[in-house]
């Protein structure tokens, strides 16, 4: 695939992420009752994320997308390979210094506890908290509240500040979580399925906000999505994963192609141009044309 390597050869800033020979597997006694080692979840990945780009990660279920995000936030550690965050080795960085540079928005959050929206957004300020006996409770400073307010304004949730999160709709929650991530004042924003379970209007909201944040704050955005069309419309580059390895990486026009998607997902797809943007658009074929690709040996 085309890598556009020549464009930024001279004044290229440090890449946000530089991933070399990354391999990872869950090292759990229970994952394999037979006693053998578990399979590699990430298997020798090499890629880099440029500063200020929106990069989408797509791939079938179980291809290691979420594990990749956890590796990039040092929530789990790789068995092999290195990850560099703005030139510094991730393994050597402290939890707090990572959390001031990378905000991670996972899927599986619990809303059983009635926190207010402001409480939740202020949680993003955790790594900036003051310590000491005089502030045992860890109250936020006024700067923290100003940052939280700014973040809530960015994601249009200021009017919800005193609402409880368990009373919000899924779309509002997602925007609140985005505000919490922005309150970390990160350089990189990592999102795991930000539009899952949202209706069309809320999907559009989240995407618009992402685009605005990216444009205004020059933030690097890395998003994992099952929605290939969303990735195609909003990402500068797309990383396609399969079985823990990079299949290809490049701009949507190069990557969103029928043969690549068919190889990765194992089913036939139709790709045409989006009527507004001209970017590739993916649809599934009619049922009678949905033949047994997996059996035909294209993998």
The span from the CA of 209 to the CA of 191, in Å, is: 13
Choose which of 13, 62, 130, 258 interacts with other proteins (CB under 8 A).
130
Stretch that binds other proteins, among 5-13, 18-26, 122-130, 290-298 (CB under 8 A): 122-130
- CA 8 to chain centroid, in Å, comes to 24
Smallest separation (angstroms) from other proteins to the CB of 177: 8
Q: Does 35 help bind other proteins (rule: CB under 8 A)?
A: no
Which of 18, 140, 172, 227 is in the footprint of other proteins by CB under 8 A? 140
137 binds other proteins (CB under 8 A): yes
- Which of residues 136, 200, 286, 295 is near other proteins by CB under 8 A? 136
Q: Is 79 in the site for other proteins (CB under 8 A)?
A: no
C-beta of 151 vs 249, nearer to other proteins? 151
Is residue 150 close enough to count as binding other proteins by CB under 8 A?
Answer: yes
Structure tokens at 192: 């795991």
Are 270 and 283 spatial neighbours (Cβ–Cβ below 8 Å)? yes
CA torsion angle 26 29 32 34 (round to 10):
150
Backbone angles phi, psi at 8, to 5 degrees: -110, 35
User: Cβ of residue 137: shortest distance to other proteins, in angstroms?
Assistant: 5
Nearer Cβ to other proteins (210/269): 210
2 SS3 class: coil
The least distance separating other proteins from the CB of residue 110, rounded to whole angstroms, comes to: 5
Residues 192-251 that bind other proteins (CB under 8 A): 217
Q: Does 127 bind other proteins (CB under 8 A)?
A: yes
| Gap between the Cα atoms of 115 and 166, Å rounded | 8
Candidates 13, 96, 273, 296: give the one binding other proteins (CB under 8 A).
96
Region binding other proteins by CB under 8 A among candidate stretches 14-22, 130-138, 194-202, 253-261:
130-138
**Distance, CA of 260 to CA of 248 (rounded, Å):** 9
Of 126, 156, 196, 254, the residue at the interface with other proteins (CB under 8 A) is 126
What sign does the dihedral 43-61-66-250 (CA atoms) show?
Answer: positive
**Alpha-carbon gap, residue 45 to 155, rounded angstroms:** 33
In this structure, the number of other CB atoms found within 10 A of the CB of residue 219 comes to 21
Q: How many residues at the interface with other proteins, by CB under 8 A? A: 58
What are the helix and strand counts (H, E) for the chain?
9, 12
CA 96 to each of CA 124, 216, 251: distance values in angstroms, whole numbers, following the listed order: 12, 25, 33
User: Contact residues for other proteins (CB under 8 A)?
Assistant: 28-29, 70, 73, 75, 95-96, 98-100, 102-106, 108-116, 118-120, 123-124, 126-130, 135-151, 153, 161, 164, 182, 184-185, 217
């Amino acid at each position: 695939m085309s890598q556009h390597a020549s464009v930024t050869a001279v004044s290229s800033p440090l890449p946000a992420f530089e991933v070399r020979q990354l391999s990872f597997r869950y090292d759990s006694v229970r994952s394999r009752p037979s006693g053998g080692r578990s399979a590699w979840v990430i298997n020798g990945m090499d890629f880099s994320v440029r500063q200020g780009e929106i990069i989408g990660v797509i791939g079938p279920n179980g291809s290691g997308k979420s594990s990749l995000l956890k590796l990039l936030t040092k929530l789990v550690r790789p068995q092999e390979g290195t990850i560099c965050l703005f030139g510094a080795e991730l393994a050597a960085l402290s939890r707090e210094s990572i959390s001031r540079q990378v905000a991670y928005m996972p899927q599986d959050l619990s809303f059983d506890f009635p926190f207010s929206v402001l409480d939740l957004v202020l949680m993003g300020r955790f790594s900036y908290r003051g310590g000491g006996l005089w502030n045992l409770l860890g109250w936020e400073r006024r700067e923290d509240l100003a940052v939280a307010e700014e973040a809530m304004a960015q994601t249009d949730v200021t009017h919800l500040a005193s609402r409880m999160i368990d009373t919000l709709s899924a779309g509002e929650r997602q925007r609140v979580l985005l505000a919490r991530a922005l309150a970390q004042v990160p350089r990189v924003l990592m999102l795991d399925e930000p539009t899952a379970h949202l209706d069309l209007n809320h999907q559009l909201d989240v995407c618009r906000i992402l685009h605005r944040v990216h444009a205004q704050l020059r933030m690097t955005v890395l998003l994992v999505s099952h929605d290939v069309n969303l990735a195609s419309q909003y990402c500068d580059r797309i990383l396609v994963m399969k079985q823990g390895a990079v299949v290809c990486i490049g701009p949507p026009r190069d990557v969103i192609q029928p043969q690549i998607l068919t190889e990765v997902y194992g089913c036939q797809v139709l790709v045409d141009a989006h009527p507004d943007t001209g970017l590739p658009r993916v649809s599934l074929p009619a049922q009678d044309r949905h033949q047994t690709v997996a059996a035909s040996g294209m993998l």
